[in-house]
Amino acid sequence: MTRQIHLGSVAIGGDAPIVIQSMCNTKTTDAEGTLAQIRQLADLGCQVIRVALPAFSAMSSLERICAESPLPVVADIHFDARLALEALSAGAHGIRVNPGNLRDTTAIRQLAQEAARLSRCVRIGVNMGSLSPSAQKRYGMSAEAMVQSALEYLKIFEDAGCQNLKVSLKSSDLRISIEAARRFHAISDWPLHLGITEAGTPMAGTIKSAIGLGVLLLEGIGDTIRVSLTAPPKAEITAAHRILEALGLLPGRPQLVSCPTCGRTRIDLIPIAEAVEAEIDRLMSAGKTIALRKIAVMGCEVNGPGEAADADLGIAGGNGTGTVFKFGKPVQHCPENELLPVLLAEIHAAAKLPIRASKSSGKPW
């Protein structure tokens, strides 16, 4: 169990659900466009948003974004600690820095003191390409060097009294990223942000991220995630939901199990599965949780009854007909054209507004 920290109103670590992040691809100088994208991502279930802060010229725009954003805003800063200091003054709820490319130790200490004074969140983002010189000298380009770099930088922020710290350890090599996260988690209770950097285009990047994040999340490692994709940011939120859903880590969202169809399938199954998935998406986007653990959409009697019976809700197709299962028991046999309406009615009956919604977005996730 990691310690719990706060980024604006969002809890990260401890017993909090995994937090989904993304990053705007708008220019931060364009406050209007950036806010529009943040609102769109918030509606899709994003909980924390990061914006690039490459220059002082974006500071007044950042101030407006932080004031009007429905999500906590993290300013992403490289090379110049003074940018991070000003971002805190501009109201950034958090900053992401890589001390490995800030270099100026005095400026980093000043930044740490200011973040502590304002109780703001700092993500210490260590990349293989910018390790601490001493860690690199001792451990080479390795997972251990990333961990030691993080510990070295953490100490500066801990000594200044920062309470809201998280760490990311990123390499484009999946194995090194996983090993670094495991090693760090074994010796530190600061929350970990997980992401596979430069993961790629939507299909390839989602698969790579699902492997890297999935391995760690299944081991109980990781408190917040970003699925980095070469795609519009909304694709990152969809991918993050799919990954967490597959791992059973998305509160209020049932896992959808559906068969691939084959020569035995005697109903038009694919549109039924797609319609069920779309309705789950729609209800979740409307801020509902669905009190079902698993929904099974199965084509025939081979695996259908078994999978459907193991689900809270399911169908097993027959010859132009199907059987509906609820909590392991067949409850209804009906013609094919009634299967989807029956499923949707049951899903609606199980959908409700969440007991504990995120303060930032009103969403259950």
Size of the site for ligand SF4 (CB under 6 A): 12
Nearest in space to 282 (alpha carbons), one of 249, 328, 241:
241
Q: Closest CB to ligand SF4 among 265 and 321? A: 265
Burial class (CB in 10 A: 0-12, 13-18, 19+), 40: middle
- Find the shortest distance in angstroms from Cβ 279 to ligand SF4: 21
Distances (CA, A) of 108 to 145, 159, 262, 307: 20, 12, 60, 55
Write the interaction track for ligand SF4 spanning residues 283-322; mark x where CB under 6 A is met and - where it is not: ---------------xxx-xxx------------------
Write the interaction track for ligand SF4 spanning residues 212-251; mark x where CB under 6 A is met and - where it is not: ----------------------------------------
Helix (H) or strand (E) holding 331: strand 329-335
Q: Taking contact as CB under 6 A, which single stretch among the options 131-139, 198-206, 253-261, 281-289 is the one that binds ligand SF4?
A: 253-261
- Find the shortest distance in angstroms from Cβ 87 to ligand SF4: 53
264: contact with ligand SF4 by CB under 6 A: yes
**Structure tokens of 243?**
């990954």
Q: Closest CB to ligand SF4 among 13 and 304? A: 304
Q: Closest CB to ligand SF4 among 110 and 303? A: 303
Q: Closest CB to ligand SF4 among 130 and 303? A: 303
195: contact with ligand SF4 by CB under 6 A: no
Among 238, 255, 261, 321, binds ligand SF4 (CB under 6 A): 261
- Find the shortest distance in angstroms from Cβ 230 to ligand SF4: 33
Helix pair 31-44, 59-68: axis angle to 10 deg: 30
Q: How far apart are the C-alpha atoms of 54 and 47, rounded to whole Å?
A: 23
Write the interaction track for ligand SF4 spanning residues 108-127; mark x where CB under 6 A is met and - where it is not: --------------------
- Find the shortest distance in angstroms from Cβ 276 to ligand SF4: 15
Longest dimension (CA), the chain: 74
Distances (CA, A) of 3 to 11, 200, 231, 251: 10, 32, 33, 20
Q: Closest CB to ligand SF4 among 229 and 267? A: 267
- Find the shortest distance in angstroms from Cβ 298 to ligand SF4: 5
Q: Closest CB to ligand SF4 among 39 and 294? A: 294
- Find the shortest distance in angstroms from Cβ 278 to ligand SF4: 20
* Residues 249/209, Cβ–Cβ less than 8 Å: no
Burial letters 311-340, b for 16+ CB under 10 A, else e: bbbbbbbbeebbbbbbeeeeeeeeebeebb
- Find the shortest distance in angstroms from Cβ 304 to ligand SF4: 5
**Structure tokens of 270?**
């694919």
Helices (H), 188-224: 202-218
205: contact with ligand SF4 by CB under 6 A: no
Nearest in space to 256 (alpha carbons), one of 237, 240, 241:
241
348: contact with ligand SF4 by CB under 6 A: no
Nearest position to ligand SF4, beta carbon: 299
Classify residue 127 by its DSSP letter: E
DSSP character string of 252-308: T-PEEEE----TT--S-HHHHHHHHHHHHHHHHHTT-EE--SEEEEE-STTTHHHHH
Scan residues 21-80 and list those touching ligand SF4 (CB under 6 A).
Answer: none
* Residues 22/237, Cβ–Cβ less than 8 Å: yes
- Find the shortest distance in angstroms from Cβ 292 to ligand SF4: 20
Q: Closest CB to ligand SF4 among 205 and 299? A: 299
- Find the shortest distance in angstroms from Cβ 306 to ligand SF4: 9
Residues near ligand SF4, by CB under 6 A: 259-262, 264-265, 298-300, 302-304
